[in-house]
Amino acid sequence: MTASKSSRARNARIGAQSGAARNAARAGTAVKNGSGARNGSAAGKATANRSAARSAPAARPAAGVRAGAAERGARAQVVPDEETSRGPAPWLQVATFVLALAGLGVSVYLTIAHFTESALLGCSESGLVNCTKVTTSPQSYVFGIPVAVLGLAFYVFAVAAMSPWAWQARRREVHLLRLASVVAGIGFVLYLVYAELFIIGSICLYCTSVHVITFVLFVLTAFAAAAWGLKPGAAWKLSLARRPAAPEPA
């Protein structure tokens, strides 16, 4: 009986010790698992940092591409503006310059003929076409100044104002003076035509050629002002400002 009780006591002590050992083993396993989880988390963070570091250089070139695209877009708005600031169509610039030179040539000849009192070549001296009657009439002076001299002064200015360099000028005043000069010139031409037809009763072929040139210059200058404005590139600048920006590359 006593031996049986002693055996049960030993078995109980052995079982308690075995349970304590198992509990300690479980605790150690849990501690190891926790440390592994922490180590895995740290390793994951390190991997993420290395990935971010590798992707950062790729992001910088992408930002550089976008910056380059923006710079190219800015240049694209400047270059057309420089091109359109060259003024009206080249044919109009050349045509007005050539016409102004032709008017200057005729005006020089009329001025020389006026002061030398020589007959105009190829012009009739009788009937409706009578150059001498026109150039020697009282209407050939305005405010005591010969009309030929006024025409010469007008076309000296017209040659400068109708040159391609003046058409491409960026100052608004140049284009205003050009327009004002042809308006004044066509007004003076209308007076001279009226004087020839209704006061003198004769016309001068050289004077008529100057009148025609002045009229054509007036039409072309007015057309240029209506189509291109009084300052080259102004309408194109407005259209460029309203143009939507180009999409950035992905």
Per residue of the chain (250 residues), give pLDDT as tens. 444 545 565 665 665 566 555 655 565 544 444 444 454 444 455 554 555 445 544 445 445 545 555 555 544 444 444 444 567 899 999 999 999 999 999 999 999 999 988 888 888 777 789 988 999 999 999 999 999 999 999 999 999 999 999 999 989 999 999 999 999 999 999 999 999 999 999 999 999 999 999 999 999 999 999 988 876 544 444 444 444 555 555 5
**Nearest in space to 110 (alpha carbons), one of 119, 100, 101:** 119
d(CA 103, CA 155) in angstroms, rounded, equals: 6
Q: Which helix (H) or strand (E) holds 169?
A: none
Side chain identity, residue 209 = S
Query: Which is it for the CA torsion 14, 18, 23, 28, positive or negative?
Result: positive
Which pLDDT does position 163 carry in this prediction? 96
Side chain identity, residue 114 = H
Q: H helices within 90-146, ranges in order?
A: 90-116, 131-135
pTM more than 0.75: no
Are the C-beta atoms of residues 211 and 155 closer than 8 Å to each other? no
Collapsing DSSP to helix, strand or coil, 42 comes out as helix
Which pLDDT does position 118 carry in this prediction? 81
Are the C-beta atoms of residues 161 and 179 closer than 8 Å to each other? no
Which pLDDT does position 45 carry in this prediction? 53
Which pLDDT does position 77 carry in this prediction? 47
Interior/surface letters 157-188, b for 16+ CB within 10 angstroms, e for the rest: ebbebbbbebbebeeeebbeebbebbeebbeb
Which pLDDT does position 17 carry in this prediction? 61
Side chain identity, residue 233 = G
Phi (first) and psi of residue 247, to 5 degrees? -65, 145
Which pLDDT does position 122 carry in this prediction? 83
Side chain identity, residue 8 = R
Which pLDDT does position 162 carry in this prediction? 96
Side chain identity, residue 190 = L
Side chain identity, residue 57 = P
d(CA 87, CA 85) in angstroms, rounded, equals: 5
